[in-house]
Structure 1
């Protein structure tokens, strides 16, 4: 196949009609279940501390119960990789939804705090399985020319659900006056998501029909006609065939090079994102703003973030992964550092609003980057075990960041904690600049 033929085929495949057909065929089994799961989870998360308080928890204990969901997701990534490798993505998503239903019933009927905490942990485990199965499916089935946009849209559907979910919870509280209404709403969303997964058109058949010649699963080539190499943790020089699915820990060891380098860069991005969610409300409180103003500023930042999710995918597909990763990390890192110097100024509220918007732009430009980079460097014939390790690293970064912000703020000041997270962002930007060109298996 000649270079010109490859370029022509990719150009034809990337037409607007092809993209629309791809999105419609992914919607029933990927995007639809994702937004349903995220809507239910987004409605539940703000009310978890209230459910704990109803059972006698004080503030620290309620926070511990709420964190059980995050811990469950962190612990569930590697087992989820094992499950996807053995029973497939569709079965794992269905089982994950069923396990989450067990957690929902536990939350709704729990008579004491230990069961409530365990139920939140189980939901986190199920969320890990659900998310990793989606990621693995997109990695192996979606053509390379469309990968970043498809994964950015996946991230956008999740963000939409998490953004709208709390408003649904508020409406349910207004109607029923009971926090458990949001729990049962999550259950309804789970039932609908599992039905979509099980009854939707076969994703294997639908997506395979849309793969262009340069991007077929058995002949993954980029627009220049070069074979996509399997990642070995070393500089990519050619295609490396994969014989048989490897175990989770063997996969982690085999890909230790990319996980310890690009994986840690990805973890820094996840940490900065998570720190933003914690630091902005705390900053507003520390400069004396009222709750309504803080909510407005944070909401505007979130709206900017959501508005840019698809633009991130377009940038990555057209110009390369670094063109989205570097601006995102530099904006968020510099935004945190600059915000740290405005705490005691006369215009602190104005600077707070400005840098909240800057952080929203940076986070929006990073939409789908972690999913896309994980898909880029994963073994294409057996990505599940690798993606379990990748997602564990990124989730760990997101889980550690709030603890760092709290610890540094308690030991020194919130300004120092905010500046420290800015430094993490700038160091992460340098790491992306160093390792993305080395490990991402395309000339970008």
Structure 2
């Protein structure tokens, strides 16, 4: 697709519609997974473990997802992931057995890995480089909007059918995502074309995960570490706001309102973030994203009442919001073609490791010292991430592939 002929409007519904519905599907069930597990007889500790199964499913499926996407293409990978997610939701809603429910939650994580890889790979190929960050930050923003809407969409069904209603809403949304995915235009060629900026195809053997890991080792151990730190801080920020609210004695309603306002500012600025990346370079957003989140987290333990917590939460939300799409954009920039799905699978694996590690560090430091120390450790991760990204993310005039190899 020549850059001069590109129009995001032509692919907006098939590119973003499935993401909105898939985000709604996952958002609908997130608040009730622990409640469902408890209702099926799980202890509090076991219910917490069940919640982590979505992350475990995603983590373990990132690399296998590359095989699905490479063999069947992005379009059919999206359809298959949506169908798998819908099946998981139906199992969770209709089979009241704890181990079946746990398997269903794991399946949701598996589906999310394939769906996320396929949608990122498709937009990277379909969108020209000069528009890439806006396209991918919009993708991240649309997903956040779907997740935000999900609990509200499920509320009515829950009032009628109990917690199972959330999973039926999720199943319907996942089916809708699959149907819309059928409208995704096929890519004429899987080559650099408009969407690739790093590697030219060669006539050598087909790339594998191992060969991509070897040829792009320097990217993974530099910018990849920065991506891991971004994911760690983002995952931890979701826990620290309610935990600190409880610590200073706020009632759950006030804490939920503060958390919601932080999420709202996060959602509202995804497109300006993408525009900034396309105009001034990736570093112009990646570094401030981590600095602002690190600053917000550092200020959080100083909050002793609702106003202080709100200001820190808004700062954290703003920092996360300006980084909308940054992980996907950096992955797209450095992914080679051929070999893009394999590269992005490894990239998503690094992000998922960070997502799992961040709350683990918070928990460990809190257990060893205090909650404020745990939050402080997370703030340090944010500042460390800013240093790593400043060091390794190319400036505006640098070649995107300048550290590949």
TM-score with structure 1 setting the length: 0.85
Task: Report the CA distance shift for 1:143/1:351 in structure 2 as closer, same or farther (over 3 A).
Answer: same
| Correspondent of 2:336 among 372, 379, 395 | 379
Instruction: Say whether residues 1:352 and 2:309 are aligned partners.
Output: yes
Aligned to 2:300: 339
Gapped runs of 5+ residues in structure 2? none
Alignment of 1:51 with 2:51, yes or no, is no
Deviation at residue 171 of structure 1 after TM alignment: 2.6
In the alignment, is residue 245 of structure 1 matched against residue 206 of structure 2?
yes
* TM-superposed deviation, 1:49: 1.1
Match of 2:198 in 1: 229
The 8 Å contact of residues 82 and 174 in structure 2, kept in 1 or not, is answered as: yes
* In structure 2, C-alpha distance between the alignment counterparts of 1:439 and 1:388, rounded to whole Å: 23
Distance in 2 of aligned mates of 1:285 and 1:127: 31
Please tell me whether the aligned partners of residues 377 and 439 of structure 1 are also in contact (alpha carbons under 8 angstroms).
Answer: no
Question: Are 1:104 and 1:186, in contact at CA under 8 Å, matched by a contact in 2?
Answer: yes
2:170 to 169, 186, 197: 186
Structure 2: distance between partners of 1:380 and 1:367: 24
Counterpart of 1:204 in 2: which secondary structure?
A: coil
Query: Given that residues 94 and 164 in structure 2 are in contact (C-alpha distance below 8 angstroms), is that contact kept between their aligned partners in structure 1?
Result: no
Closer, same or farther: CA 202–182 of 1 in aligned 2, 3 Å:
same
What's 1:389 paired with?
Answer: 346
**What is the distance in 1 between the residues matched to 2:198 and 2:24?**
37
TM-fit CA distance, 1:408:
1.2
Q: Output the CA distance in 2 between the equivalents of 1:63 and 1:119.
A: 15
Q: Given the alignment of the two structures, is residue 85 of structure 1 paired with residue 70 of structure 2, yes or no?
A: yes
Pairing partner for 1:440 from 383, 400, 404: 400
- Paired residues of 1:93 and 1:194 also in contact (CA < 8 A): yes
Distance 2:186 2:276 in 1: 26
- Residue aligned with 2:96, SS: coil
Residue in structure 2 matched with residue 411 of structure 1 by the alignment: 368
Q: Give the secondary structure class of the aligned counterpart of 2:187.
A: helix
Shift of 1:217: 4.9
Distance 1:245 1:421, change over 3 A: same
Within 5 Å, give how 1:8-407 maps onto structure 2.
Answer: 13=4, 21-22=7-8, 24-174=9-159, 176-198=160-182, 200=183, 202-204=185-187, 217-219=191-193, 228-230=197-199, 241=202, 243-340=204-301, 342=302, 347-407=304-364
Q: Provide Cα deviations, 1:187-208, integer angstroms capped at 9, x if missing partner.
A: 111211111112x152426xx8
Structure 1 Cα separation of the partners of residues 137 and 222 of structure 2: 23
Cα distance in 1, alignment partners of residues 400 and 315 from structure 2: 28
Task: Check 1:253–1:217 CA distance in 2 against 1; reply closer, same or farther (3 A cut).
Answer: closer
Matches of 1:251 and 1:300, distance apart in 2: 41
Counterparts of 2:141 and 2:193 in 1: how far apart (Å)?
Answer: 29
Cα displacement (A) at 1:136: 0.8
Question: Residues 309, 219 of structure 1: CA spacing in aligned structure 2 closer, same or farther, 3 A cutoff?
Answer: closer
CA distance in 2: counterparts of 1:56 and 1:229, whole angstroms: 52
Question: Per-residue deviation at 1:45?
Answer: 1.2
SS at match of 2:250: coil
Displacement of 1:350: 2.5
Partner of 1:4: none
Cα distance in 2 for residues equivalent to 1:111 and 1:292: 31
Asked if structure 2 preserves the Cα contact closer than 8 Å seen for 1:373 and 1:440, the reply is: no
User: Which runs of 5 or more structure 1 residues have no equivalent in the other structure?
Assistant: 1-8, 209-215, 222-226, 231-238
Counterparts in 2 of 1:201 and 1:229: CA distance versus 1, 3 Å: closer
What is the CA-CA distance between 1:403 and the residue it aligns to? Answer: 1.7
RMSD: 2.2
